[in-house]
């Protein structure tokens, strides 16, 4: 089953996946990465890495899984 199909099935039952790959994010979505408490705001992808910014102005270039912050 594809990721899109499993996400659609989960939504039917009222669930949402909270772990995504960074390239699946949309501009403005907030997330954390494993091992770090900083909340990042996704801006865009730059090749294989994202460009994200924290509330304190730190920049993150990341290409792995993220946990969505609602």
What pLDDT digit, counting tens, does each position of 20-68 carry?
999 999 999 999 998 898 999 999 999 999 999 999 999 999 999 999 9
Say what the pLDDT of residue 15 is.
67
CA-wise closest residue to 22 among 33, 35, 36: 33
Q: Bigger pLDDT: 34 or 70? A: 34
Query: Which residue do the tokens 């499993």 mark?
Result: 6
Alpha-carbon distance 9 to 56, whole Å? 37
Query: Quick one: average pLDDT of 6-24?
Result: 79
Say what the pLDDT of residue 27 is.
98
Q: What are residue 22's phi and psi, to 5 degrees?
A: -60, -30
Cβ count within 10 A of residue 25: 21
Alpha-carbon distance 52 to 3, whole Å? 24
**pTM attached to this predicted model:** 0.76
> Is residue 6's pLDDT more than 70?
no
């Amino acid at each position: 089953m594809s990721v899109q199909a499993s996400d659609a099935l989960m939504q039917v039952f009222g669930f949402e996946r909270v772990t995504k790959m960074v390239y699946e994010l949309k501009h403005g979505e907030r997330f954390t990465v494993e091992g770090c408490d900083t909340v990042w705001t996704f801006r865009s992808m730059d090749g294989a890495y994202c460009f994200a910014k924290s509330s304190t102005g730190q920049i993150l270039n990341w290409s792995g899984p993220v946990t969505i912050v609602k």
